[in-house]
Amino acid sequence: MESDARRWTGFGEQSWTDSIAPQALAALKDGLRLRLHQPIPVQGKWLGQLVGGYMAYHGAPTNFHRLDAFRHYAVDHWRRALKRRSQRDSTTWDRMTQLADAFIPRPRITRPWPSVRFRVKHPRWQPGAQVAPAGICAGGPGDGHSYRDVRRRKPAKRKRC
């Protein structure tokens, strides 16, 4: 295990996100600071695109709780940014829940399990797999010697399969 970024989850796949993705949250805070005086629907649309893209990239099957945590922290940073717009702001969590439900997508898993991905790319049954292609023999030269000995000995007649 090299770092916290790829930690074994115990369910057959590694999780790609570190604890809360500090780089993504820092970019989110900077973007909210730039859009501080824009209308709430414009901020919500931008934030929804940003969070949706993050979830599409990190939507591995065992990563749901971290996607949910990222959404929660994104909503919290948005609430703080809205509170900074006025001295007498009374933005509550009830109001933020309504805004988040309206603009920010809920976390969802966008990638299949590895066993499903592998099965699709490499199915066990293939059409025409019952008949072996002509001229292909399994194994080496067929005379009981390894491949290394091929250059040292006289060429033998090859067996046909």
Long-range CB contacts for residues 84-89, cutoff 8 Å, separation at least 24? 84/36, 85/36, 85/37
Is 80 exceeded by the pLDDT of residue 69? yes
Of the listed ranges 25-34, 63-72, 79-88, 128-137, the least confidently predicted one is 128-137
Rg of the chain on CA atoms, in Å: 28
Structure tokens at 43: 């901020």
Is 50 exceeded by the pLDDT of residue 104? yes
pLDDT above 90 as % of the chain: 30
Residue 45 exposure: Cα atoms within 13 Å on the Cβ side: 4
How high is the mean pLDDT of the chain?
Answer: 75
pLDDT, position 48: 94
- The pTM assigned to this predicted structure is 0.60
